[in-house]
Structure 1
Amino acid sequence: MTEEDFLFQDDSAQGDTPAPANTAPPWLVLVVDDDDSIHQITALVLNSFEFEQRPLKLLHALSAREALVLIQQHDDIALALIDVVMETQHAGLELIKTIRQQLKNQRMRLILRTGQPGEAPEEHVIRDYDINDYKNKTEVTAIKLKTLLYAGLRSYRDICIIEHHKAGLEKIIGCTTSFLQCSTLKDFASLILGQVAYLLDLQREQIFCCAAINNARPQGLMLDVIASSNPGQERGLPPEVFAKIQQVQQQKQSYQGEDCFISYFTTHKGSENFLYVSKGSKLESTDHHLLSYFSHNIAIAYENIRLRELMRDSQRELSYILGEAVEKRSKETGSHVKRVANYSHLLAVKCGLSEYEAEVIKLASPLHDLGKIAIPDHILNKPGKHDAAEWAIMLQHAELGYQILQHSTNEILQMGAIIAHQHHEKWNGKGYPQGLSGHNIHIAGRITALADVFDALGSDRCYKKAWPLEQIIELIRTERGQQFDPALVDILLNNLEAFLAIRDAYPD
């Protein structure tokens, strides 16, 4: 009896019945042996082999060198059947070392087969080499070979699932970190779409995602759509999607199907939350697990961001109210502080500050003239020119505003103190109250100084009429590098239409 007879003698009386062609993604199995007949017999025995309704695809190498090339070309080889003695006495063992130690491939299942056990004693090889099984070719029948493959592929599958879950957990942790960095609902909505696509390894355009919050109004289910990747559906849901979410809301439990995923969960405040995800292909169980964990983070992050926005809106309103109170005392319109706030934000963004820094300046800039609250009415509202004594009192408003705000620990009010103190400083050092110059003036002070003058010149005051735009532009050009930061002047002049749009949006 030949070696091949031992190697693949059939334990059953009947051969396998031919199966119809299977188009599922195949399991890749690498056969490494310098005996061409081994390859032929292996292919014959495994011709109709399937595991979990997926067929095999055999890759063949006649040497360890050829095998290494194939392994580097295919990073998804599930299992390798490796001979020991090939181009050298220990070529198979060296190949195993390379796979595990150099290529760092721990997923591939490695089965060592040898026809010369004396060259590679079993105990020595099992102990010193990271293999998953050791077989003498004379013991491997057709059934035993298939058993090896079932066990090896099952092990490979489980390792892939574990790695997929680990990667998914890392993604969820990363997503959670990103949520913590969100400051607005607009950013949050964009992040939801991107992170769901990231979790499922999809391009954004391949996924339809909608996260919604139930407002629990008496007239029925009312959904506030946070994010949608479906163009034209930013404010509403397709009827079929709404119907599915409504069913989930009625049943008070999540839906996990092959067509879509809908999570249902409530927060400690009692709001009902939903995340709807579907894609062109089947949603796997691992997709459902990842989305389940992820959706809970969405609800918590959403509530925190809404609270942050509410607090920010409250701070903005308080800043406007304080600023407008000062303007009312000086018989000026409250729209001035809103225009200055928006001019300042635009200048801050255009000069390279982050959106967060620009928002802080926007919220703080309405406080620039807070010190005027301590200036007597007869001086503040004098229609004519101030005399020297009156002007000296007027100059105090920058210092007074700073003193009112300087002891606050609130970030907005701290910035307000800086702006109140420095918005009358000049680039050439001839401003007040400190005589600062150039970059020694805080960027927020330089920004608000230009925004304040640009708006004040174009508005009626008790002591003057509004200037025409051409005259305002001429003065600002003249004061470039004198009163104002030249870089900020360039930004204003190069984006004049945007500034005029703000002026038109907040008329007196």
Structure 2
Amino acid sequence: MSKLNNPLFSNRNKDTDTKANKPKATVIPENAWKVLIVDDEPEIHKVTVMVLRNFELKGRPVELVSAYSAEHAREILAKNDDFALCLIDVVMETDYAGLELVRHIREELHYHATRLVLRTGQPGYAPEKEVIAKYDINDYKDKTELTETKFYTLMCSALRAYDDIVSLDNNRQGLEMVIDATANIFEARSLQTFTSAVLMQLISLLQLSRDAVMLQISGFSVTDSPTSMQILAAVGKYTDYIGSPSTNCLPEDDRQLLSKALSQHSHVYEDGRFVLYSETNEGHYHLLFVQHPHQLSYLDKRLIELFCSNVSIAYENHRLREEIENTQREIVCILSGAIESRSLETGKHIYRVAEMAALLASSFGYSKEDCERIKAAAPLHDIGKVGIPDQILHKPGKLVGQEWEEMKTHVKIGYDLLKESKRKVLQYAAIIAREHHERWDGNGYPRGLEGEDIHLLGRIVSLVDVFDALTSRRCYKEPWPVEKAIDYLQNESGKQFDPTVVNIFMQNLNKIQTICESYSDKASTQ
């Protein structure tokens, strides 16, 4: 509460001004250091403003905000969390108002970056050693010893410390965002989903505009022009160009920027846009082009490059996982095909059944991931035929008596082969193998289940297996016309087949026929 005496800044001269002879700014820049002066004496505010009127650090001036009591300061701080420095008097409304304000700032507002400096004219009320030890402050000054030079030193050290803390905090938050963004990318299953996730997470990371594309070219065409690149994913104004060549949506100067990144094998940054370059171990090169309205800081660029490195690793893992899954699916189909050929049912039967089963499962609300599992599981529906003798499998006529009873055992054989697996694909396959010969009316086998007691996957595969068997050539029959097969399904609705499955099948008939054409037995023999 003691006023500043004239000698307080007695050594002030033009040489000690940080930016001497510079006119006072009428407009405070957005990047100014925000400093809160908390003191109940107007003279302290006037002198502080006078001393700091030309102060700059790192090209940034100060924005001074005045609070004439601790309570007034609380109101200001509640609405602003970006003060770099608070200059706080100890004795104001009460003898310890300043100390209580410090506790409020640190423990209730949790402003840990803001530098707090106590200035007091009555050090006896709050001894320096005791205050420094007990309160989370950054400096303690007696107003009578605070010359202009010392005040300048205090400002520089406090603001530099604040800047360092904010930079470290931004780095920490940025790294957390990169980790979170990368985790979200790893969850993507398909290539298009993966690349879309990359773009959206990068935009979220930097809070950029939403105009961006991701492109890919093969390693063997490194010298090709970006005009041959295909857009894998896009957001913003480029969304309609997914799957198109880059020439369809990017102007010449943007394509030149892509060429520059490709030829230099490096990231390229220009005002309003940048290209990220990454290369995988498999010889694939990826370019990510983003338009944005803001200038990127050094930290932004470092986070982008870290994110890009993680994306490259994630993409490599994604490709490896995709290769493994495709290999597993192909092995299942080869195994199933071997079983089908053993029963003289050659062709693309298992592929058609797999695609049709996944299509109907999707219509029943199965997730995309589960539909992929069903597609992999469905070809194993007759795996139990591996245990059926050739003379029964190859018999051209109708099976009778004991022959038929033995044929029916393929259901249990298949189930027993698959039931112990912990893999969801094989668990689905076990269900399908056991229940795809059950009937809606309860007259099927092996357990005579009825209605919804039959697993939905069993009901689905039961229908698509019969439909494909009817419309395909077998050793014991010629293929039926599609119309005749459809009539059979509708006539058996409520008897052999679940009526709801029949209805869903009919609603998807055009897609079903497309599947049959895509996996035609005629095409496989050519």
Alignment TM-score, normalising by the size of structure 2: 0.82
Match of 1:210 in 2: 214
Match of 2:23 in 1: 18
The question of 1:387 aligning with 2:396 is answered no
Match of 1:474 in 2: 490
Distance in 2 (alpha carbons) for counterparts of 1:497 and 1:73 = 61
> Gaps spanning 5+ residues in structure 1: where?
none
Match of 1:342 in 2: 355
User: 1:349, 1:358 within 8 Å by CA — same for their partners in 2?
Assistant: yes
Distance in 2 (alpha carbons) for counterparts of 1:497 and 1:77 = 65
The question of 1:180 aligning with 2:186 is answered yes
Aligned amino acid, residue 490 of structure 2: E
The question of 1:286 aligning with 2:299 is answered yes
Q: 1:155 to 1:426 in 2, by over 3 A?
A: farther
User: 1:4, 1:38 within 8 Å by CA — same for their partners in 2?
Assistant: no
Match of 1:88 in 2: 94
Match of 2:308 in 1: 295
Select between 215-224 and 348-357 the one with higher mean Cα deviation. 215-224
Q: 1:100 to 1:505 in 2, by over 3 A?
A: same
Residue deviations 1:81-128 (CA, integer Å, cap 9, x gap): 111112211111001101111222201111111122111111111111
Match of 2:260 in 1: 247
Q: 1:6 to 1:235 in 2, by over 3 A?
A: farther
The structural deviation recorded for 1:426 is 4.0
The structural deviation recorded for 1:136 is 1.8
Match of 1:236 in 2: 245
Select between 37-46 and 299-308 the one with higher mean Cα deviation. 37-46
Residue deviations 1:23-82 (CA, integer Å, cap 9, x gap): 443332222122233333333333343333333322222222221121121122221111
Match of 1:67 in 2: 73
Match of 1:399 in 2: 412
> Gaps spanning 5+ residues in structure 2: where?
522-526
Q: What is the DSSP-based 3-state SS (H/G/I as helix, E as strand, rest coil) of the residue aligned with 2:155?
A: helix
Match of 1:465 in 2: 480
Q: 1:497 to 1:78 in 2, by over 3 A?
A: farther
Distance in 1 (alpha carbons) for counterparts of 2:60 and 2:189 = 47
Distance in 1 (alpha carbons) for counterparts of 2:513 and 2:40 = 80
- Which of 29, 37, 42 lines up with 1:36 in the alignment? 42
Q: What is the DSSP-based 3-state SS (H/G/I as helix, E as strand, rest coil) of the residue aligned with 2:117?
A: strand
Aligned amino acid, residue 296 of structure 2: L
Distance in 1 (alpha carbons) for counterparts of 2:492 and 2:47 = 89
The structural deviation recorded for 1:168 is 1.5
The structural deviation recorded for 1:362 is 0.7
The question of 1:195 aligning with 2:201 is answered yes
Within a 5 Å distance, the mapping from 1:33-432 to structure 2 comes to: 33-202=39-208, 205=210, 207-210=211-214, 212-217=216-221, 220=224, 223=229, 225-229=231-235, 230-231=238-239, 232=241, 234-237=243-246, 238=250, 239-256=252-269, 259-269=272-282, 271-325=284-338, 334-372=347-385, 375=388, 385-403=398-416, 412-413=425-426, 415-426=428-439, 429-432=442-445
Q: What is the DSSP-based 3-state SS (H/G/I as helix, E as strand, rest coil) of the residue aligned with 2:404?
A: helix
Q: 1:390 to 1:327 in 2, by over 3 A?
A: same
Select between 146-155 and 82-91 the one with higher mean Cα deviation. 146-155
Q: 1:92 to 1:488 in 2, by over 3 A?
A: farther
Residue deviations 1:218-275 (CA, integer Å, cap 9, x gap): 8646756543333326443334444334333433444455554444454444555544
The structural deviation recorded for 1:317 is 3.3
Q: What is the DSSP-based 3-state SS (H/G/I as helix, E as strand, rest coil) of the residue aligned with 1:117?
A: coil
Fraction of identical pairs, as percent? 40
Distance in 2 (alpha carbons) for counterparts of 1:182 and 1:13 = 63
User: 2:459, 2:497 within 8 Å by CA — same for their partners in 1?
Assistant: no
Q: 1:329 to 1:95 in 2, by over 3 A?
A: same
User: 1:11, 1:142 within 8 Å by CA — same for their partners in 2?
Assistant: yes
Residue deviations 1:271-298 (CA, integer Å, cap 9, x gap): 5554444422111111111111111121
Q: What is the DSSP-based 3-state SS (H/G/I as helix, E as strand, rest coil) of the residue aligned with 1:196?
A: helix
Distance in 1 (alpha carbons) for counterparts of 2:510 and 2:421 = 37
Q: What is the DSSP-based 3-state SS (H/G/I as helix, E as strand, rest coil) of the residue aligned with 1:118?
A: coil
Distance in 2 (alpha carbons) for counterparts of 1:495 and 1:67 = 68
Match of 1:5 in 2: 6
User: 1:30, 1:59 within 8 Å by CA — same for their partners in 2?
Assistant: yes
Q: 1:77 to 1:489 in 2, by over 3 A?
A: farther
Q: What is the DSSP-based 3-state SS (H/G/I as helix, E as strand, rest coil) of the residue aligned with 1:478?
A: coil
Distance in 2 (alpha carbons) for counterparts of 1:219 and 1:30 = 58
Select between 429-438 and 298-307 the one with higher mean Cα deviation. 429-438
Select between 162-171 and 453-462 the one with higher mean Cα deviation. 453-462
Q: What is the DSSP-based 3-state SS (H/G/I as helix, E as strand, rest coil) of the residue aligned with 1:131?
A: coil
User: 2:471, 2:482 within 8 Å by CA — same for their partners in 1?
Assistant: yes
Distance in 1 (alpha carbons) for counterparts of 2:502 and 2:50 = 80
Q: 1:45 to 1:327 in 2, by over 3 A?
A: same
Q: 1:212 to 1:48 in 2, by over 3 A?
A: farther
The structural deviation recorded for 1:360 is 1.0
Aligned amino acid, residue 212 of structure 1: Q
Distance in 2 (alpha carbons) for counterparts of 1:93 and 1:2 = 19
Q: What is the DSSP-based 3-state SS (H/G/I as helix, E as strand, rest coil) of the residue aligned with 1:216?
A: helix
Q: 1:470 to 1:220 in 2, by over 3 A?
A: closer
Q: 1:475 to 1:47 in 2, by over 3 A?
A: farther
User: 2:195, 2:214 within 8 Å by CA — same for their partners in 1?
Assistant: no
User: 1:213, 1:271 within 8 Å by CA — same for their partners in 2?
Assistant: yes
Q: What is the DSSP-based 3-state SS (H/G/I as helix, E as strand, rest coil) of the residue aligned with 1:147?
A: helix
Distance in 2 (alpha carbons) for counterparts of 1:428 and 1:141 = 98
Q: How many residues align?
A: 503
User: 2:24, 2:53 within 8 Å by CA — same for their partners in 1?
Assistant: no
Aligned amino acid, residue 288 of structure 1: K
Aligned amino acid, residue 115 of structure 2: R
CA RMSD of superposed structures (Å): 3.6
Aligned amino acid, residue 109 of structure 1: R
Aligned amino acid, residue 91 of structure 2: V
Q: 1:112 to 1:405 in 2, by over 3 A?
A: same
Q: 1:71 to 1:18 in 2, by over 3 A?
A: same
